[in-house]
């Protein structure tokens, strides 16, 4: 058992329908989660995640494969319909009703982060079924009895089959709820891999959530670092990585993660990530802040003089003169064989 890590598919918190499955990891499964939760969603061809909303959480989804049509209804009734493809981010503010409809001829998959460790669902099928038919007749201005078919139901439809994939109907030219993340220029690209930032400066609608697409090559290392204003929730899309987390008070946990595993790092905890084997690895790195900060050990160490560091580490004078100075964090390095465990 790990304090900070979990295998998503091992969760008993899952909803399965003929058209697909959603698997949740909340604080009920991973108690350390605070202000964040994660789900994976698989929609088969011709399936739709029914219109629903989350009263207590925003939602940030990353499309892993396939394509979908999403409709979000804003306050006042304005509808935004957009296409979402593999590599895209989609953001839904708390309380806004939305749906996800598979428009591919094959499976479409998402990994979804929520801004609450125990996020809530309200599904259209169950919510509407609790309304008296005369109330619905009046609301729609139709003849008495039009909504007599409405009956209270126990379980929501949740995932249903539409019979055919519906073509996307883009009606908002700005598409402010979507970001073509993998089309953005990487913030860093070197022998160790690449990082694409999905933050508020590139995706302005974000509020309380963000995501990095982190790709690591060979024996790459995401340098030891911390996020002063954000917790981090990782989902391993591809490959295997090792993660070490240092907690206040000296607690240390090292975990090995494979595709389908997640890890959670509380705000400002010191941690690093390295590939296992020959790589590559791909991670969706979610944060509970729309503009997460980043402090790496390379620039942090460079801020202090050799006498200060030698006194702190108990090393001979001049030890740190051989360590390069960095004005900015290295962030991602190619690794060194001698440093591999």
The pLDDT-based confidence of 340 (bands split at 50, 70, 90) is very low
> 258-285 pLDDT, tens per residue?
999 999 999 999 999 999 987 799 999 9
Would the pLDDT of 115 be above 60? yes
The pLDDT-based confidence of 219 (bands split at 50, 70, 90) is confident
Tally Cβ neighbours within 10 Å of residue 183: 10
Cα 75 from Cα 154, distance rounded (Å): 28
Looking at residue 341, its pLDDT comes to 35
**What percent of the chain shows pLDDT beyond 90?**
85
> 23-70 pLDDT, tens per residue?
999 999 999 999 999 999 999 999 999 999 999 999 999 999 999 999
- Is residue 319 a contact partner of residue 242, using CB atoms and an 8 Å limit? no
Looking at residue 278, its pLDDT comes to 79
- Is residue 33 a contact partner of residue 145, using CB atoms and an 8 Å limit? no
Tally Cβ neighbours within 10 Å of residue 141: 7
- Is residue 279 a contact partner of residue 333, using CB atoms and an 8 Å limit? no
Overall pTM > 0.85? yes
Cα 259 from Cα 241, distance rounded (Å): 9
Looking at residue 277, its pLDDT comes to 80
- Is residue 257 a contact partner of residue 316, using CB atoms and an 8 Å limit? no
> 66-88 pLDDT, tens per residue?
999 999 999 999 999 999 999 99
- The region of weakest confidence among 32-46, 74-88, 107-121, 324-338 is 324-338
| Mean pLDDT confidence for 215-237 | 95
Cα 123 from Cα 39, distance rounded (Å): 16
Sequence length of the chain is: 341
**Residue where the block lists tokens 């979000």:** 72
Looking at residue 193, its pLDDT comes to 93
Looking at residue 322, its pLDDT comes to 84
Read off the tokens for 49. Answer: 């995640």
> 298-312 pLDDT, tens per residue?
999 999 999 999 999
Looking at residue 338, its pLDDT comes to 33
**Residue where the block lists tokens 């391993």:** 236
Q: Which residues contact 166 (CB under 8 A, 6 or more apart)?
A: 69, 101, 103
Would the pLDDT of 325 be above 80? yes
Cα 282 from Cα 236, distance rounded (Å): 6
* Strand partners of residue 212: 197, 285
Residue (of 136, 61, 45) closest to 98 by Cα position: 61
| Mean pLDDT confidence for 100-112 | 96
Torsion angle of alpha carbons 272, 278, 280, 283, nearest 10°?
-30
Q: Which domains does the chain have, with CATH numbers?
A: 5-121+156-179 (2.60.120.10), 184-335 (2.60.120.10)
Map residue 93 onto helix, strand or coil. coil
């Amino acid at each position: 058992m790990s304090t900070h890590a979990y295998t998503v598919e091992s969760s008993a918190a899952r909803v399965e329908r003929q058209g697909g499955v959603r698997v949740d990891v909340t604080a009920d499964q991973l108690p350390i989660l605070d202000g964040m939760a994660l789900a994976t969603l698989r929609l088969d061809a011709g399936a739709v995640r029914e219109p629903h909303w989350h009263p207590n959480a925003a939602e940030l989804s990353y499309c892993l494969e396939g394509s979908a049509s999403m409709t979000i209804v804003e306050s006042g009734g304005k509808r935004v319909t957009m296409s979402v493809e593999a590599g895209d981010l989609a953001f839904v503010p708390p309380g806004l009703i939305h749906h996800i409809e598979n428009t591919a001829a094959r499976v479409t998959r998402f990994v979804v982060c929520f801004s609450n460790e125990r996020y809530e669902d309200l599904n259209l099928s169950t919510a509407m079924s609790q309304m008296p038919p005369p109330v619905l007749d009046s609301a729609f201005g139709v003849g008495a009895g039009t909504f007599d078919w409405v009956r209270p139901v126990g379980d929501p439809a949740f995932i249903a089959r539409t019979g055919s994939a519906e073509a996307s109907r883009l009606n908002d030219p700005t598409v402010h709820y979507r970001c073509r993340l993998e089309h953005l220029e990487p913030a860093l690209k070197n022998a160790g891999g690449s990082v694409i930032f999905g933050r508020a400066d590139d995706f302005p609608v974000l509020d309380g959530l963000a995501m990095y697409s982190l790709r690591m090559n060979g024996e790459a290392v995401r340098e030891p670092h911390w996020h002063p204003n954000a917790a981090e929730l990782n989902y391993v899309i591809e490959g295997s990585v090792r993660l070490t987390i240092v907690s206040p008070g000296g607690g240390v946990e090292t975990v090995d993660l494979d595709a389908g595993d997640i890890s959670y790092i509380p705000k400002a905890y010191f941690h690093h990530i390295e590939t296992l084997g020959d790589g590559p690895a791909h991670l969706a790195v979610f944060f509970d802040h729309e503009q997460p900060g980043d402090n790496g050990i390379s620039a942090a160490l460079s801020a202090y003089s050799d006498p200060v560091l030698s006194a702190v580490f108990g090393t001979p004078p001049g030890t740190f003169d051989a360590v390069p100075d960095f004005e900015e964090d290295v962030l991602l390095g190619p690794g060194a064989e001698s440093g591999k465990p």
